[in-house]
Amino acid sequence: MSQSFNTKTVHFKTAKHQPHNSKVTPIYQTSAFSFKDLDDVEAFYNGEKDYLYSRVGNPNPDELAHVVSQLENAPAGVSAASGLAAILVGVLSVCQAGDHILASTDIYGGTYELFETELTSFGIELSFVDFKDLDAVAKEIKPNTKLVYTESITNPLLYVEDLTAIVALSQKHNLKTMVDNTFATPYLITPYDQGVNLVVHSATKYLGGHSDVTAGVVVGDEDLIKKARTKAIHLGPTLAPMEAWLTVRGVKTLALRMEKQVANAQKLADALSAHEDIHTVYYPKQASPKGNGAIVTIDLKDTIDVKTFFQSLGFVKIVPTLAGVETTVSYPKTTSHRALPEDVQQSLGITTGLVRISVGIEDSDDIIQAFTEALSNSQHA
C-alpha cells in the first residue's frame, strides 16, 4: 500500500526481522555477536547470518539507514558516525586518487574543508564552481571528472539548487551526482527521485531533531552504497547503536517538527524582511509545495553591533549547529565557514553581519519578538 510521508516516518519497515516482536527495536548495545561454533561463524561469511562485529554491522545503524532510504525513495543506505563521515564514504564510493570532483562553492564550510584538505591528500582533484551558472560548471568538466557535488538547499545562503538541470548535465557527461539534503530533509525535497545517485544527511540535524545525537546517513544507488558500506567498515566511522536508536526515534516526529518549524521560519522571514536594520533576508522561495525550509539567514546592516545582537537574543541560544526544536543562531563567519579563505567568504556573501537562524517549534510570535527586541537593543549609538 502506498503511504504518505507522514505515515512512513512512523510505520517504516525494519531492516531485519526482530525475533521477539518488540514494538520498538531494542538497542543492540554490543560490540560483537556470539556464535555457537565455527560453522556458525562461517555462516556469517557465507551471507547466512547478518551480524558479526558492530563495526561491520549492527541492527540499529542498519535500521536508520533503511528508514532514511525509504523516506528518500532510494534502494539502499548506510549509516555513519557523522554527516561528514557519511559524505566521505559516499564520495569514496565514486572517486579515488586521480579523479576529479566538481563541487558547488556555496556549501557547508566543514564539507569545503574536508574536500580541500583531506580529499586532496588522497590524490583527488577538486574544482569549486558557482552552480547557479551551469554553463560555467560544464566548462570545468575534465576527462577525469567523476562526481558532481552540491546541496539541495545551500548552507548558509539558502539557494535552492536546480537538481533536475544538474542531473541532466551530469548524465550527459556520464558523471555521478551527490547531494546533501540536510537542510531540506525528505519532507521537502527527495533528490533521488530527481535522478541524483547519492543523497547524504547530517542526521545530527533534522532527522535526529533534538540536539542529542551525532550521526550521518548516505542513501542511493545500490552499487555505490555497497562500496560506501565497505569504505565505512574499512575506515571505521561506524555509528554506535545508541546514537542510531535515538535518531530513528527522532525520525518518527520529523514531519510534525518540520511542519511547525517551516511555518515559523516563513513567518520570521516575512517579519524581518522589511526591518530597517537588516540588509538582506535569505530565505528560499518555491523550494517545495510543503514550504521553504526551517532556516532563515539575515545580513545585518552596519547600524547593528553584532556582538550586542548575539548577547540580546533572550531564549535564543548561540550554537554552532542547527535543526533542534529550539530556535538557535550561529555566526557562519567564525564557525561553520571559518575554514574558507577570506576572499571566498566575501565572494559568497559571508559577511561580518551574516547570521544563520535555525527556527524552532516555539510560538512564532515569541520568536519574532526575540529578534526584533535584539535588533532594537543592539543599534549603534
Give pLDDT tens digits along the chain (381 positions).
Answer: 567 899 989 887 775 656 667 888 899 999 999 999 999 999 999 999 899 999 999 999 999 999 999 999 999 999 999 999 999 999 999 999 999 999 999 899 999 999 999 999 999 999 999 999 999 999 999 999 999 999 999 999 999 999 999 999 999 999 999 999 999 999 999 999 999 999 999 999 999 999 999 999 999 999 999 999 999 999 999 999 999 999 999 999 999 999 999 999 999 999 999 899 999 999 999 999 999 999 999 999 999 999 999 999 999 999 999 999 999 999 988 887 877 778 878 878 788 999 999 999 999 999 999 999 999 999 876
Asked whether 122 and 148 are in contact (CB, 8 A), the reply is: no
pLDDT at 160: 97
* pTM, to two decimals: 0.95
Whole-angstrom distance, CA of residue 289 vs CA of residue 282: 19
**How far apart are the C-alpha atoms of 347 and 297, rounded to whole Å?**
17
Instruction: Check the CA dihedral 161-330-245-44 and report its sign.
Output: positive
The answer to whether the Cα torsion of 189, 192, 193, 194 is positive or negative is positive
- What pLDDT score does 1 carry? 56
Burial 136-157 (b: 16+ CB within 10 A, else e): ebeeebeeebbbbbbbbbbbbb
332: cis peptide before it, omega within 30°? no
Residue range(s) occupied by CATH 3.40.640.10 in the chain: 5-251
CA 50 to CA 53: how far, in whole Å? 10
Q: Which fold has domain 255-377?
A: Aspartate Aminotransferase, domain 1 (3.90.1150)
* Among 199, 182, 185, residue whose Cα is nearest residue 90: 199
Q: What is the DSSP letter of 224?
A: H
Task: Provide the terminal-to-terminal Cα distance of the chain, rounded to the nearest Å.
Answer: 63
pLDDT of residue 32: 95
State which CATH number among 3.30.70.3280, 3.40.1160.10, 3.40.640.10, 3.90.550.10 fits the domain covering 5-251. Answer: 3.40.640.10
Sheet of strand 198-202: strand arrangement: 76-80, 216-220, 198-202, 176-180, 145-151, 100-104, 125-129
Cβ-Cβ contacts under 8 Å for 378 (sequence gap 6 or more):
304, 305, 306, 308, 309, 311, 312
Q: What is the residue whose three cell numbers read 582533484?
A: 125
Query: Where in the sequence of the chain do the CATH 3.90.1150.10 domains occur?
Result: 255-377
Long-range Cβ pairs for the range 226-231 (8 Å, 24+): 226/76, 227/92, 227/93, 227/94, 228/78, 228/89, 228/90, 228/92, 228/93, 228/198, 229/78, 229/89, 231/88, 231/89, 231/92, 231/93
Q: How far is CA 367 from the centre of its chain?
A: 24
